[in-house]
Amino acid sequence: SLIVVRFMLNLFYKLEKKKFDEKHFLLETVELVLVKEQNGVQFTSSALVSPSGQTHPSGEERETWGKKIDFLLSVIGFAVDLANVWRFPYLCYKNGGGAFLVPYLFFMVIAGMPLFYMELALGQYNREGAAGVWKICPLFKGVGFTVILISLYVGFYYNVIIAWALFYLFSSFSGELPWIHCNNTWNSPNCSDLNSTLLNDTYKTTPALEYFERGVLHLHESSGIDDLGLPRWQLTSCLAVVIVVLYFSLWKGVKTSGKVVWITATMPYVVLTVLLLRGVTLPGAIDGIKAYLSVDFLRLCDAQVWIEAATQICFSLGVGFGVLIAFSSYNKFSNNCYRDAIITSSINSLTSFFSGFVIFSFLGYMSHKHNVALDKVATDGPGLVFIIYPEAIATLPGSSVWAVIFFIMLLTLGIDSAMGGMESVITGLIDEFKFLHKHRELFTLFIVVSTFLISLSCVTNGGIYVFTLLDHFAAGTSILFGVLIEAIGIAWFYGVDRFSDDIQEMIGQRPGLYWRLCWKFVSPCFLLFMVVVSFATFNPPKYGSYYFPTWATMVGWCLSISSMIMVPLYAFYKFCSLPGSFCDKLAYAITPETEHHLVERGEVRQFTVSVMAAFMCTAEQGRLHKFHG
């Protein structure tokens, strides 16, 4: 009788092909079939079979995206969010129109794209979440927890925006939109339908404004942040629907989320195109677009224009949330992350620019209809998409249909960005605490339910005050600080040369001098400048005419500091937990974990401390880690 014994030997083959000047690596598994006969054991056949997953050089297997397009759509869907619609067009109009593109593109090239590329490469090579990737320099793992906390905090209020959009969507399925007239139960005596004079009268309010603040938020039933009241059941129900959608989009990992983004990442482009085609046919639309594109180069002499362009770059690309690291960690090891970085960051910026045509065609129409200057109707933030734009849509024939289309776009813009933030938290923590891998579904449920419970404070009568406070502090200075520490850790401690070697190992080509200079000098200086500016230009939060009490501002700063403090806290913990003398501890702390055995053997020369320079350096022997100081 024959006894067939099958066993798998995992071998790593590096096949070099000169094709488009790139190296391609093929990981295959050799299946060997052994047949035992009476006269012994002999090899009878062998076959090359494709592996189920991709393996890092360390031999570690990891789930990968079903298709390359799943990854690209996920990154685009995360980076292209509501701010592309309500923030960039207004900044462009306010800061010199087309002239604003000069500082915007300048900062995009010297900081935005290099940081975007850095995070994609960092996640893809190390194949772990935001915290786990710092096995390359354990001293900096605290910044991983910083960005995870920031993503978690943003989820507390970002999901509420999606719930508002869902509420508006449900309200749009009616013969007459509820924000057209002032004869509703929530309207105040100040509400007026006299559109021609309304925007010039500070004592009057529009039906659209009152619908948002009184019909949806019930803000008039709260006196401030210290008088929140109970959650509104209508908004709570919408929030629950959002949480359920997020859970079932994330519970199985990238295999499910990668399919959801086929709808959520592409739908906004279809809707924006449809709205643009409708918008340019409206009276006054061309005037609005001309105002959007008008060039005033004198505005470039204003430092505030450059600061706002730099701030927009920092937040619009989505660096610093850990999402790009998490998404790219599920890529195949040989994926061309350089090409992905160029494509996705460019699409993000082009989307922002394109959405401006849609927004300002309708704002021009509103300006024409009310016979007022464009700056009377131009605004940014939630007020644009929940007050001004719905009011414009309400004046169109078939307004309910256009409202449904518009709020579907807002939903899809918000959902995939929320999915990215959640994935950053989930991937970052399950990669750090390995036992959670087997319980991803339960852990995902725990995260989304916890987010839902905390978000309930934002759907109370005074919930907009909590929302404003979170929006002001959760991801402001803290995210700039987080990206700054990331850049310093990669460029100056792990080393730009070594990081470039990692990229060459993945895609077969080494980053050029431009990218290396940006990573080492330009981007860190840019981020340091932005951190200083964010502190210097800090303004206390307010909503309309309501100014937050001092204690609320202090709570906001505590929230911001709670994420930033993870960097020094973890560094102190790591330093104290390592063995040896001070110099030994430092050597362990900045040496990749895979090379700690070299430190143990004393193959890394001891550090010398210069009091005058306050800087520490180490020399390298052989292929040891370089600390570029």
Contact 386, 212 (CB under 8 A): yes
Alpha-carbon gap, residue 60 to 594, rounded angstroms: 13
370 contact partners, CB below 8 Å, separation of at least 6: 195, 196, 198, 199, 376, 377
619 is in an annotated binding site: no
Name residue 64's amino acid.
Answer: T
| Positive/negative CA dihedral, 256, 259, 263, 268 | positive
Alpha-carbon gap, residue 30 to 430, rounded angstroms: 31
Angle between helices 141-172 and 566-577 (to 10 degrees): 150
39 is in an annotated binding site: no
84 is in an annotated binding site: yes
79 is in an annotated binding site: yes
Structure tokens at 491: 């460029």
Question: Distance of alpha carbon 7 from its chain centroid, rounded?
Answer: 43
77 is in an annotated binding site: yes
316 is in an annotated binding site: yes
Structure tokens at 609: 């401390």
Instruction: Give backbone dihedrals phi and psi of 118, rounded to 5 degrees, phi first.
Output: -60, -45
Strand stretches in 27-98, DSSP E: 28-37, 40-49, 54-55, 61-62
Contact 587, 599 (CB under 8 A): yes
Alpha-carbon gap, residue 494 to 592, rounded angstroms: 8
Region of 391 (left: φ > 0; alpha: ψ -120 to 50; beta: rest) is alpha
Alpha-carbon gap, residue 163 to 234, rounded angstroms: 10
460 contact partners, CB below 8 Å, separation of at least 6: 222, 228, 229, 230, 231, 232, 466
Angle between helices 477-488 and 141-172 (to 10 degrees): 140
User: Residues forming the annotated binding site?
Assistant: 77, 79-80, 84, 316, 348, 413, 416-417
User: Residues forming the annotated binding site for Na(+)?
Assistant: 77, 79-80, 84, 316, 348, 413, 416-417
